[in-house]
Amino acid sequence: MLKEITGRIFNIQKYSVHDGPGIRDVVFMKGCPLKCIWCSNPESQSSDLQIAYNITKCIGVNSCGHCIKACTFHALSVSEDKIVLDRRNCVNCNKCVDICCSKALHIFGKDMTIDEVFQKTQNQAGAWRSNGGITVSGGEPLLQADFVAALLKEYRNIGVHTAIETTGFVHWEKLKQVAQWCNLIHFDVKMLDAQKHRKYTGVDNIIILENLKKLSAGFPNVNIIVRTPVIPDINDQECDITEIAEYLKTLPNLYDYELLPYHGYGRSKYEQLEMAYELKGVASLEKSSIYDLNQCVREMLDLPRKTYAGHL
């Protein structure tokens, strides 16, 4: 019965080494309650299936143009040999996507059953040799808690290490439902200041911080890694981070605290969805200084120092 549920997934990445121990498969769930202005996976935000257009891949209307012929709803037009998509006319019939020879037109999002995801990841069984495992990320995986809990349960049943990456902005019940099947939870705390949090992510952080406390107290056997994406001019001051660290000190169970330096690699995806990218022109952060800061904070929190993990 359970296996009939589907999850909406926008990517499954193989051979991931930055999202938990060992070599892992990462399942990215679609839909997120936040709207962080630095988000590098904008395709993860909406829970809908979304048509997207990758102009770099399109070979041009002159030599192709199949999509225009296929669209009977006049949602596609031509500009300088490339396509313009008018989302108001589009009815998501996918005809253009099916015909596109270069996959320039494609859909973000695919509904998959647990079996399908399991097959697509479990056949990488060699990866488990690494003591790696599965990580469910997003978007916010807990928006699809039934699916994620059932999926992780499958993996736990065969002894595979399980992890999720969550914003924490969900009902405690959902978090609880999924946490019981997790070995590891990556929990984002973007900033402590509530107002700032609302401004840059669109939501309040009260629930998030409460959930973190409950999680830490209620699941002593789950490893909790708190993560903070460090964004230039938004939360990149030492005090922003130490503030969070002070809060983390109060947690009964914390496995690690990681800082993730901002990068702008998501920009291309904003263009594919014709979304505005507000951080245009903001430079990526120097990794080494963030790394040093991270080590300092770890010391503050009595956490073991980590060797460099090689994030870009």
Partner 1 sequence: MEELSCCKEILTEHEKRVEKGIGQLSPRPRINGFLTNFRDQVPRIDIQRAVLFTESMKQTEAYPMNIRKAKALQHIFNNIDIIIQDNELIVGTCGGAGRHAILFPELRGPWLEKALRGVQKGNAFRISDEDLQTVVEKVIPYWKGNSAHERYLAMLPSETKEFIYGDGDWGSAGLLQDNANINATLNWAGNYKKVINRGLLDIKREMEERLSQVPNNDYTKMAFLQAAIMVCDGLMDYAKRYATKAREMASIETDPKRKAELEVIAQNCEWVPAHPARNFWEAMQCQWFVQTAYKLEQPTVGVISLGRFDQYMYPTFIKDLKAGVIDEERALELMECMWFKIASYVPFNVTATNNYFEGYCHFEQTVLGGQTREGKDATNELTYLVLRSKKEFPLHYPDLSVRLHSGTPNSLLHAVVDLIKQGTGFPKLLNDEEIIPQAIFNGASIQDARDYSPCACTEVRMLDLDTYMAVGGNLNLPAALEMALNEGVVTIDGQKKKLMTPSIKSADIKTFDDLLKNFTEAWDLFIQHFYKRQAALEISNAACLAAPFMSMLNDACVEALTDIHQPINNHGISKDSGALSVIGFGTLVESLAAIKKLVFEDKRFTLDELKDALKANFEGYEPIRQMLLNAPQYGNNDDYADEVARQTDEIICEVMQRYRTPNGPQNFKHVPVTTHIAMGRRMGATPNGRKAGESLSEGISPSQGRDSEGPLATLLSIDKVKSRVYNNNFSRLLNIKLNPQVVAGEKGTHDLMAFIRSFVDLKLWHLQFNIINKETLIKAQKNPDKYRNLIVRVAGYSAYFTDLSPDLQNEIISRTEHQVV
* Residue placing its CB nearer to ligand SF4 in the complex, 82 or 120: 82
The listed partner (ligand SF4, partner 1, none) that binds 250, CB under 5 to 8 Å by sort, is: none
Q: What one-letter code names the amino acid at 113?
A: T
- Crossing angle for the helix pair 172-179 and 206-218, nearest 10 degrees? 40
Please give the full DSSP string across the chain, using - where no structure is assigned: -GGG-EEEEEEEEEEE-SSSSSSEEEEEEP--S---TT-S-GGGT-SS-EEEE-TTT---TTT--HHHHH-TTS-EEEETTEEEE-TTT-----HHHHH-SSS-EEEE-EEEEHHHHHHHHHTTGGGGGGT-EEEEESS-GGGGHHHHHHHHHHHHHTT-EEEEEE---S-HHHHHHHHTT-SEEEEE---S-HHHHHHHHSS-SHHHHHHHHHHHHH-TTSEEEEEEEE-TTTT-SHHHHHHHHHHHHT-S---EEEEEE---TTHHHHHHTT---TTTTPPPPPHHHHHHHHHHHHHHTTPPP-------
Distance of closest approach, residue 107 Cβ to partner 1, in angstroms? 14
Distance of closest approach, residue 119 Cβ to ligand SF4, in angstroms? 26
Whether residue 302 contacts residue 248, with contact meaning beta carbons closer than 8 Å, is answered with: no
The listed partner (ligand SF4, partner 1, none) that binds 312, CB under 5 to 8 Å by sort, is: partner 1
The listed partner (partner 1, ligand SF4, none) that binds 51, CB under 5 to 8 Å by sort, is: ligand SF4
Binding footprint of partner 1 on the chain (CB under 8 A): 11, 13-19, 22-23, 26, 28, 40-41, 54, 56-57, 59, 63-64, 66, 101-103, 123-124, 126-127, 129-132, 137, 165, 260, 263-269, 271, 284, 287, 307-312
* Residue placing its CB nearer to partner 1 in the complex, 57 or 249: 57
The listed partner (partner 1, ligand SF4, none) that binds 94, CB under 5 to 8 Å by sort, is: ligand SF4
Binding footprint of ligand SF4 on the chain (CB under 6 A): 32, 34-36, 39, 41, 44-45, 51, 58-59, 61, 64-67, 70-71, 73, 75-76, 83, 85, 90-96, 99-102, 104-105, 138-139, 167, 201
Residue count of the chain, please give it.
312
- Crossing angle for the helix pair 172-179 and 145-157, nearest 10 degrees? 20
The listed partner (partner 1, ligand SF4, none) that binds 32, CB under 5 to 8 Å by sort, is: ligand SF4
Distance of closest approach, residue 287 Cβ to partner 1, in angstroms? 8
Q: What does the alpha-carbon distance between residue 10 and residue 28 come to, in Å, rounded to a whole number?
A: 6
The listed partner (partner 1, ligand SF4, none) that binds 91, CB under 5 to 8 Å by sort, is: ligand SF4
* Residue placing its CB nearer to partner 1 in the complex, 130 or 253: 130
* Residue placing its CB nearer to ligand SF4 in the complex, 33 or 132: 33
Distance of closest approach, residue 13 Cβ to partner 1, in angstroms? 5
* Residue placing its CB nearer to partner 1 in the complex, 102 or 113: 102
* Residue placing its CB nearer to partner 1 in the complex, 88 or 129: 129
Distance of closest approach, residue 288 Cβ to ligand SF4, in angstroms? 23
* Residue placing its CB nearer to partner 1 in the complex, 25 or 154: 25
Distance of closest approach, residue 74 Cβ to ligand SF4, in angstroms? 8
Q: Are strands 24-29 and 50-53 parallel, antiparallel or unpaired?
A: unpaired
Distance of closest approach, residue 269 Cβ to partner 1, in angstroms? 7
Q: What does the alpha-carbon distance between residue 203 and residue 169 come to, in Å, rounded to a whole number?
A: 8
